[in-house]
Amino acid sequence: MGNITIRHATIVTVDPHRTIIPDGAITIERDRISMVGNDDAVVKAIKPDVEIDGRGRIAIPGLINSHTHMFQCLVRGLGDDMALIEWINRFMLKIIKVIEPEEAEAGAALSCLEMLRTGVTFILDNHHGKPTEKSVDLVASAIKTSGMRGLVARGITQFTDISGKLGMDPGGFPFTPEEQLKSMKRLLEKWNGAKDSPVKLSPAPGAVFACGDELIKECYTLAEKYRVPCHIHTAESGPANKLFRKETGQGEVTKLNTLGVLGPWTHIVHGIWLDDSEIRLMASKKAHHVHCPVSNMQIASGVAPIPKLLSAGVNVCLGSDGPASNNNQDMFGVMKAAALLQKVSTLDPKVISAYSVLEMATIGGARALAMEQEIGSIEVGKKADIVLVKRDSLTSAPSHRPTSTLVYSSLGSDVDKVFIGGHLLVDGGELMNADSELILERARAASEALFDRAKVRELLSN
Ligand SMILES: [Zn+2]
């Protein structure tokens, strides 16, 4: 097959110059972008074999969801109106204790469809739903089957004194450190061996207070060896952070630095309760910040200091967080929340721009994966992960400023087409390769079975 050329689209490239091309064309050859430019210049230089009409569409790089827990779509809404520690103890640990691998997979398959349909092309799934080897395998396979790219960050946990003081149930920590490391190594060998594998694995210590020091260090060593992130929930809950500081005499990021695990492979997920010295530490060590604004608001965790992080030079990327604290994985909603939360909390409407937020959801995510040469922007030579968003939908027309449309007006349902590696996986808003009804039915059945075994039906009446 020859080239595919998307014509007459408004292209928001997210390249280093923040180039926007009002009447642009993108040529895709095999899995990569071979030309980007003004429509007339591109079609003068190359004869399109297949033309895609991009009129009334904004072309953006595929969105990168840098933090979610896909299985949680099975329990959407059950954790509403709880703060983090109650949410963990009264709800999530009960689910984690009993979830079966096939159920986690059913949730993951549905989450993949949700995200693909709404313009996500790369998923970082922090799988902590009783992550047995089989379960991790099935979740990674669900991403692969969907045609998306992804990283499954396997939750690794250990009951600690501080987890005990926070009232966490030891039963929610079913594996020994040795078991988890052995299984992590086997999974890394299996999934990260192939150079161009679309789905890889990485270690994810559950939280600084829910994983022992030695285990966190082992995780970081593995992350460095396999050149994948060490993805850690850090400084998310105010009360937990306060207790952590009282017990250890230092903040959570400072602690990671003391352990020697704050570096370019570290993902500080949430990073709300940071002091200024920790922001400087993150910048100097080139650690990444994974911001999840909707979840932070939903469970009232607090406001991450994004403007300070950005001005210190920290790379910030964006995640939906799991659908049990969001309660969906629509990155358009996450982008809007990321902008609005900073504006209202600083009382400064200029504190963050729509373009910065779009960068967090694209190239920022790519940098945090060390994949910025491959994905995250529409530039020649990169993988053809491209999303066309309608600018003439009822919620966004008339659209005058493309980045404003994308961040403040667009909904995930405005996504018209999604290409991943040059493959058209969503066309006219329809999923091309998936049996959505079957996947939905499996997820419904899995959640019903899970409610009974986890004994969480009482939460339905809240
Ligand atoms: Zn999370």
Three-class SS of 116-158: HHCCEEEEEEEECCCCCHHHHHHHHHHHHHHCCEEEEEEEECC
pTM of the model: 0.97
**pLDDT for res 169:** 87
**pLDDT for res 192:** 95
Structure tokens at 317: 């990327």
**pLDDT for res 462:** 60
For residue 85, report the distance from its CA to the centre of ligand 1, in Å: 13
Mean pLDDT by 10 residues, the chain (462 residues): 94 98 98 98 95 98 98 93 87 91 97 98 95 96 97 97 92 92 95 88 96 97 97 96 97 98 98 98 98 96 98 98 93 98 98 98 98 98 98 95 98 98 97 94 96 87 68
From the list 93, 161, 156, the residue with the least C-alpha distance to 126 is 156
For residue 321, report the distance from its CA to the centre of ligand 1, in Å: 5
For residue 41, report the distance from its CA to the centre of ligand 1, in Å: 45
For residue 212, report the distance from its CA to the centre of ligand 1, in Å: 19
Which ranges of 210-269 would DSSP assign to H, the alpha helix?
213-226, 238-248, 252-258
For residue 395, report the distance from its CA to the centre of ligand 1, in Å: 30
Q: What is the pLDDT of residues 14-31, one digit of tens each?
A: 999 999 999 999 999 999
Distance of alpha carbon 175 from its chain centroid, rounded? Answer: 25
For residue 313, report the distance from its CA to the centre of ligand 1, in Å: 24
